[in-house]
Amino acid sequence: MFNSNKPSLEDLPTTAQLLKSTAIAAASAIVILTTIVLPSEYGIDPTGVGRMLGLTEMGEIKVQLEEEAEADRQMGGAEEAQSSLLNDIFGLFVGAAHAQETEVWRDAVTFTLAPGASTEWKLVMSQGQTAEYRMNVEGGRVNFDLHGHGSGQSVTYEKGRGSTGSEGTISANFAGEHGWFWRNRDKVDVTVKVQVRGEYIEFKNAS
């Protein structure tokens, strides 16, 4: 066992000494706060000592940098909100333009072909007329022949094998019927949608 000497009551600090030490520590903290911390961190110099030591200027720079950073964050948020608003407006215009484009198709037809089935649709056109078309195939693939005949003449514009769609223009070099022959060579039903617009007299089923 170790023997230790217990301090006597005379060796312990008195209450007055403890209070004095506490007061000195508090006063030192206040001095450090007012002369060093406030000037160097916040640019606040109630005693003037911080400016003499060059601490106040450092604190003012820190405060200015923080204010500029906050202003940048607010500006960034405003720009983001503005960009989002512009994107929404642009989206509305694009949606409206797309809807308008869908509406300007002059004629459209949708039909389903069973395996091995075929059909034919033609544009009746005069010489020099031009028509625009769009064809979409859903559920499978088709073979097609886009051609024209009339006035003792014939022409092949395009042929497709295993096609899922096509688009383009037809320019009639002669008066007659210009259009498509489709056949479903797939093993399942397929749905074909054809949209046309432009210069033509009639769009009709020629099967």
Instruction: Sketch the domain layout of the chain as residue ranges.
Output: 14-104, 107-205
CATH superfamily placement of domain 107-205: GOLD domain (2.60.120.680)
Predicted TM-score (pTM) of this structure: 0.51
Predicted pLDDT at 89: 67
Distance CA 164, CA 187 (A): 15
Alpha-helical segments (H) within 104-186: none
Predicted pLDDT at 207: 83
Predicted confidence (pLDDT) per residue in 118-140, tens digit: 999 999 999 999 999 999 999 99
Q: In the predicted model, is pLDDT for residue 176 greater than 80?
A: yes
Q: What average pLDDT does the segment 72-89 reach?
A: 70
Q: What average pLDDT does the segment 79-86 reach?
A: 66
What residue type is assigned to position 92 of the chain? Answer: L
Predicted pLDDT at 9: 55
The residue with tokens 């005693």 is 47
Q: In the predicted model, is pLDDT for residue 106 greater than 70?
A: yes
